[in-house]
Amino acid sequence: MRVHVVTATPRRPDVAPLLLPAPICAVAESWAPSVARYDRAQAGPELHEWLVARGEFLCAAKVLLTEEDVIVPPREGCGRCGNVSLVTRKSSVSAEQFRRAWHGVHGAMAHDVPHLGGFTLCDVVGERAPVGLAELGGPPVDGIARAAFASRRDEELMAASEEARAWFDDGAATFGQIAGFESELLAESRALSPSEPAVPRV
């Protein structure tokens, strides 16, 4: 499991903003070998008690099940700082067309972007009601993109490159709406064996 503290980034002028009903302060990621295993774990007494206890410091959450595609594996020294983007597809594009463009074109372009320390695309495949918390609500999300950097300076150098500008232009042509966040890794733990496939992500 990883927990990131996040701060909303300025709205992009070239993509419509994904408007959320409340400010987002953190993103928590967890992995399971299958959706069924995830659901069983959530219903177990030990984890259920822990989830309910979150209500002491959290008021609402949005729980998304995803399948991840690691486009650029995290490089050594990267991962503590990065950004997270929630994206939707254009209304004129089918879910399958969006996935093909997002992974096949936008994802492929990431390999040429300098100073990018890691890049992962996550397709949203389901949603669950948060245990012990109110539902955050908001519009449906089609995907989550996670970028990693060695430092904020590297992120600035990446954004100033010609390759990144072309990458951002492709994103503007692909995305319907976007909400971006700078992220800082707060905590990390692992309970599963590394040999277990990490299919769904929350």
**Nearest-angstrom CA–CA distance, 98 and 105:** 10
Check whether domain 2-192 has CATH 3.30.70.100, yes or no:
yes
Evaluate if pTM is beyond 0.85. yes
Per-residue pLDDT of the chain (202 residues; tens, 9 = 90+): 899 999 999 999 999 999 999 999 999 999 989 989 888 888 888 787 888 888 888 899 999 999 999 999 999 989 899 999 999 999 999 999 999 999 999 999 999 999 999 999 999 999 999 988 999 999 999 999 999 999 999 999 999 999 999 999 999 999 999 999 999 999 888 654 444 444 444 4
Token reading at 44: 């177990």
Burial code (b: 16+ CB inside 10 Å, e: under 16) for 91-126 equals eebeeeebbebbeeebbebbeebebbbbbbbbbbee
| Domain regions of the chain by residue span | 2-192
- Can you say whether residue 86 is alpha, beta or left, with left for phi > 0 and alpha for psi between -120 and 50 degrees? beta
